[in-house]
Structure 1
């Protein structure tokens, strides 16, 4: 697909993977609409040219529909959606204070899995209304899993379950949406240097970097964004979960 001239929706766009992806798509000539929570949108600094932030909770159908209505009102043809919104609290199934909090587990699954599905289903409806290109393609949805979907560490039970669900939807979603000319691809990043990492000390960050096979460093959000643009431009990528992890295989801790 041709990124230039298309409209793109990126969730979690106020920071981290979402912000890097929004900037990369805008640099390629896309009109980018970024979704994030009210507080994140209010706290966002200067935005790249071609990027507009809209306040919306990805788990709320009406808020996502309202954002899509704004895109339609602008006369933009939505062709690409990238789901980056997510949370990653840590808790063990059974810890010193008792069993894993059930509401916390629900919250993680609600944002990471149900939020991804909610956006995917609604943007698919929007993309399907547009005319296909000469090859019958209408658009692309890129979802974000994690290598924790396959090798979740101690304390990642909720996160691993939610991201395994995202990875597990990929082939079925691609098959469901094939009749509309919409591809679905999932990226499973390893350890990425995002704001989620800001609370770690330099020693911890160095230890995490050393655990990567090669290159021995944390991934950069811009590398995730570059992969998204490659997926968009590579029309034969569909129904696949791509690991972006420097050959890292997570240990138990």
Structure 2
């Protein structure tokens, strides 16, 4: 069990929303309850005008240890040996990871400790990840006969195929420094500097126009799945619409006039 709320939420005056996984005794597992709460939190953040950036972090030595295997195993007694429940959980988890992508606000993972299996997937799904030097990452499913197929989706979209396959095929722990080398995280800082570094970055991003950030985030993921020519056509159309937005007019005008920008997020 856990003490109190398993997902904490705190919004500061700069529009930075901190979502904190708060089930440290169970290593912040992605139980059905945690997945449901996370999905709702990301959806709410996307529609809340007061939220400009989301930071996802955790309490305890583990950032997130992935799925709750005891919860999953308990359903093996069902007539279908758990098939329906497993399908439900995998769909729920995949929905949460996609909710990070479809959320209109940038999401930063602040990785405090070990992130394994679906926990590693959670980190890989965020736009940016800052890790403490003591953090470690792995996709260890292969060690228990369960290949990390869904974590593979996010992992393979962040790191080179050979690095992704090494993690997936061995299940070995990847130290934070190497995770930064292969592109799983953006940077590594001392544990005592982690919150400071993440907050500084989050506030820098939060100072930008929310409309511009939402436009750019959506276009980034859309064009990534296209051919080169189609991506340029799409990005060009996005630029045209962006140029017609009030904040682009304001930002360009302020740059030319050498004055402070006044965003209206429209």
Whether the TM-score (by the shorter chain) exceeds 0.5 is no
> Which TM-score band applies after superposition, normalised by the shorter structure?
0.3 to 0.5
Q: With CA pairs under 8 Å and 6+ residues apart, which has the higher RCO, 1 or 2?
A: 1
Report which of the two structures shows the higher radius of gyration computed on alpha carbons. 2
Higher helix share: 2
TM-score, normalised via structure 2 length: 0.33
